[in-house]
Structure 1
Amino acid sequence: MNPVADETSVWIPRTEEDKEKVRQQMNRLLETSHFKNSRRYPLLFRFIVEETLEGRGEFLKERLLGVRVFERPADYDTASDPIVRVTIAEIRKRIAQYYHEEAHESEMRIELMPGRYEPEFRPRKEAGSDQHSIARVAAFLTDIQAAENAASESQAAAVATARSGRKRLVLYVVGVVAVLLVALGAGFFWRGMHPSALDAFWGPLLANRRTVVFCLPMEVEKSGSQTAAAAGILVQDPAATPNHPNPPVAPVSDTPLTSSFLAHETLGENIVFSDALATLRISNFLAAHNRESNYRLNTTTTLDDLRQGPVVLIGGLDNQWTLRAIAPLRYRFSGTYQEEYWISDAKNPEMKDWGLDLKIRLADAKRDFAIVARIHDESTGQVEVIVAGIGMSGTAAAGEFLVDPRQMEELRRRIGPGFQDHDFEAVLKMDVVNGIAGSPKILTVAVW
């Protein structure tokens, strides 16, 4: 009698001849109706088999397969994009259907165990292996039933049990896969109907397929107080114009601020680190949601530029476009360089609690304040997000606030129903130590 291979053991093909046998078996499966009418299943199946044959099976993980096989970005969200898990489950089901057919029972087996992406190989059954398997199952059943049946009757019962078991296994696998697919579909539906607060906040920008425009401040010839005064937002400094206690201020222009060639040569197109940090955090979030960003300096930005797509305005006192956007809102920046700057409340103009003296030493600053807002700007026809602190630490903390899921949940709770659709403005407070801001706290919110 020919030797019988143990069909329960995992076979590791080591020679090129053995590996070629596995590839031939893989091709047999791929040529069947279970696989040949699909593009995704053969692509992933062939990749995991080849990687395992090359000794790299233990490194097969969901993210690796998503990147290498389905060309997903390296940082893609596997929770919201389960293409690998769904495809593997479908491949596992189709393999089970293939081997359930009696014509393929004696072939080499390529199997995918639940929870794993590395396939297992089991050798082809040699002649007589069916009788050997039946005898083993029959003996097992005979022991359990206390030798009540004869050997021939046990073999017949074992054959029927084995075949029935295989059918139940296939039905079980198919049922599990169906339940998983239904659960995944229900999960996607639920998430679509109940987006997270973070997704709800950025939804109006993400729904617009255009590139997101970032406008960052860069002062060349004007200080922040001069830019603010030119925008007609801040209290005019009386010392600057002693003969005119209430001099008129010019509205912000649709044309960019001009600067000399020397100013560009000496200062360069530089921005404050905190503004860059806020921009980086938000642009990385948008990139993870497949949105491109375009970065512009406030000194070269025109109103027409802001009409090209959704806008994120970075910085407050040194960005005339931010000051222009918040001019009609309830909360805005006020003050003078000689006194201090503060966030004023149009309904309580005497209140100056939310202020910061920018002349004090950095180490002496104990707190900072910021305005964050999401508005629909009628002059541009675009959604604008405002990220503006009084000081540098305020802007950096505000940028972190807008991509923090827990902070967004708190903001949604404060705003209430319609969080995704309403325009709003919020004032934030953050403690500061050596110029570094702590976690922001929401002081107040205005919704319309």
Structure 2
Amino acid sequence: MSTYREILDHPVKAFQKEAPEECGPLVLEELERILESRQFRHCTRGKQFLRYVVTEKLNGRIENLKERSIGVAIFRRTANYATGDDPVVRVQAGEVRRRLEQYYQEAPEKTSVRIELPVGSYSPEFHRHSLQLSPPEASSVVFSAPSETKKLTRTFNAWRVSFFSLLAAVLMLAVLLAFMSFDRHAPVAQAAAPGSTSAAGTVLNEFWAPVLGSPQPLMIYLAKEVTYRPAISVYDEYARTHHGAFSKEVQRANDPIPLNPDRKLLWSQMVLYSDYGVATGDVDSAVRVSSLMGRLGKPDQVRIGRNFSYADLSNSPSILIGAFNDCWTIKLMAPLHFSLKDEGSQLFISEAGPHGRRWFWKNVSSAQKDYAVVTRLVNSSTGQYTVILAGLSGQGTEAAGEFVTNESILAAGLKNLPRGWPSRNLQLVLETNITDSEPDAAHVVASYSW
């Protein structure tokens, strides 16, 4: 059996893995401390996730610690949702692991039990303090393999956080690459008669039929906002008075510089960064659509920012992703039944007509409510099939991207449309609840076809 020898220069705690029934009360006490910590206090989804997996483990309901079960219980996904296309549980698990690592870096020495979520699993492990070692004893102590004993020295914790941060980054990259290339050549069910939802993949095929029937690749257009950053001189000035902080690009690119709010900046001290400015919700939708096109066997091309013209819209079927950051979205939607309006500080979705409704982004209890419009133009002014995904915020656009690529969500949203909708222009207003910056599955609150 492998062993690990650590030379320690300060007292440590050794933790031993415990069966849930042997340390249940201690685990519940520790769980509450974790949920009230600064790492989890304002992370609603993370708290829900951790409370769920811990209580299910303590109650012996191991069968509920599956990705699909968690997606249904926590994220309100349907029982048959495609986990391969929807990584929401995997992403949240990674976030919870990261916050737990941070919590135990700052945990008080009197912590009697430790809750961990192993990489690759949704079943938490509980480790209880077993002994206190003095420095002389610690200098020669031998630890068994990690699965038997957890080494919780400050030195090892620093190494482990760095290692798992790198591992998490590699895993996330692998998930993203797999998500974009998964099953690109898998067979897809052929579309049945318009309006039918009896065959797997039928609703997706009907919605995207004009794209699949075109000889041209689908053009996926991502808008890019104007983005500024402080000039290097601002960072250098800050570094001189703060022990070199923000003297490296890796910190300047990843952390906001904590300038005094009253600190005045000249316009010359702000620099336009042309490579920045793509919204994360837009990227999420683009990845979902590209992945779907791969599974349907349809080539696609991605264009970003100004690298897209009206001629491109006229030459190929297109999907425009974004709302007020996309000038083409605003222009094409302006004469339609549902359009985007900008009235000073008010951004909203507007319905045409003297009694038209309006939808605004809003705070609701501990979450937010966002709206988006999915516009499907079979007969567009460009002469090509065009789809527009436009949310009032990035999360709204992300929810719209999931709506048009998820078979079960799309089928539920289109079930009340009149017969013959696949051959008509269509607009759908979607509503989604947002918790911890994650949108729930969207549902249709208004529709119009012509």
- Decide which structure has greater helix share: 1
Q: TM-score range by the shorter chain?
A: 0.3 to 0.5
Higher relative contact order (CA 8 A, sep 6+): 2
- Decide which structure has greater strand share: 2
TM-score, length-scaled by structure 1: 0.46
